[in-house]
Amino acid sequence: MAMFSDEIRTMDDLFVHQLEDVYYAEHQIEKALPEMMEKATDTELKRGLKAHLAETKRQIKRLDQVFKKLDQEPKGTECPAIDGIIEEANDVAGEIEDKEVLDAALIAAAQAVEHYEITRYGTLVAWAKQLGRKDVATLLTETLKEEVATDKKLTAMAKKSANPKAARKAPPRRSPARGGSSRGGAKPAKSNGRRGRAAA
Ligand SMILES: [Fe+2]
Ligand SMILES: [Fe+2]
């Protein structure tokens, strides 16, 4: 992770570095989406993930164009942030048996990915404009809009169907203490249940 290496001296270097970061991220997402599609049960969610996989492939091609415009060789630089988001998604999914709860988790994971992309592309668009590359900014804005649209679709899916379906499956064992420390709480503690009881 050569975050502050000598290679980044100017804003142009920084811009290319960020491009390489998102190029790597898009490739990781391209690899992760088929697995998410396979795990998803809801047909609308499956379809949505499939559509976004196709879109992701087009976004990679768009990044190739951006590199070309900048006379740079398209390449990725390792991005531990996206690796972490994907790894966490896989870990959580691996712990969920119930298909509808899993759908809700998959949407949340996909949204974490989208939000990551939105922050990266948002920055890239601003930097491209700052560096006087409106042509590049225009291309990156197209992708940014797609990521925002995907995020909105996922929110709609979650609210309309996945979350209510998953919530209906709440196990009776935790019913007396609603709103307590069980599932869905905002605390960034260790994942629910299991360990909490034994602690002081
Ligand atoms: Fe993307
Ligand atoms: Fe995306």
Q: How far apart are the C-alpha atoms of 49 and 165, rounded to whole Å?
A: 19
CB of 13 closer than 8 Å to CB of 7: yes
Going by pLDDT thresholds of 50, 70 and 90, the confidence category of residue 176 is: low
Cα(181) to centroid(ligand 1), Å? 35
pLDDT digits (tens, 9 = 90+) for 59-109: 999 999 999 999 999 999 999 999 999 999 999 999 999 999 999 999 999
pLDDT (mean) for 161-177: 77
Q: Helix (H, G, I), strand (E, B), or coil: what is residue 169? A: coil
Banded model confidence at residue 177, pLDDT cuts 50, 70, 90? low
**C-alpha 177 – ligand 1 centre gap (Å):** 40
CA of 182 from ligand 2 middle (Å) equals 31
**pLDDT greater than 70 at residue 168:** yes
Q: How confident is the model at residue 194 (pLDDT cuts 50, 70, 90)?
A: very low
| Cα 97 to ligand 1 centroid, rounded to whole Å | 28
pLDDT the model gives residue 7: 82
Dihedral sign computed on CA atoms, order 78, 84, 86, 91: positive
Rounded to the nearest angstrom, the distance between the alpha carbon of 112 and the centre of ligand 2 is 10
Tell how far the Cα of 33 is from the centroid of ligand 2, in angstroms. Answer: 10
Task: Set out the domains of the chain in order of their start, with CATH numbers.
Answer: 11-167 (1.20.1260.10)
Confidence (pLDDT) at 198: 36
pLDDT above 90 for 137:
yes
Instruction: Calculate how far, in angstroms, residue 24's C-alpha sits from the geometric centre of ligand 2.
Output: 13
Closest listed residue to residue 113, CA positions, set 1, 17, 22: 22
Q: What spacing in Å lies between the alpha carbon of 150 and ligand 1's midpoint? A: 9
Residue pair 15/106 in contact by the 8 Å Cβ criterion: no
67 vs 187, higher pLDDT? 67
Length of the chain equals 200
Whether the model pTM is above 0.75: yes
151: pLDDT strictly greater than 90: yes
Surrounding residues of ion ligand 2, Cβ less than 5 A: 117, 147
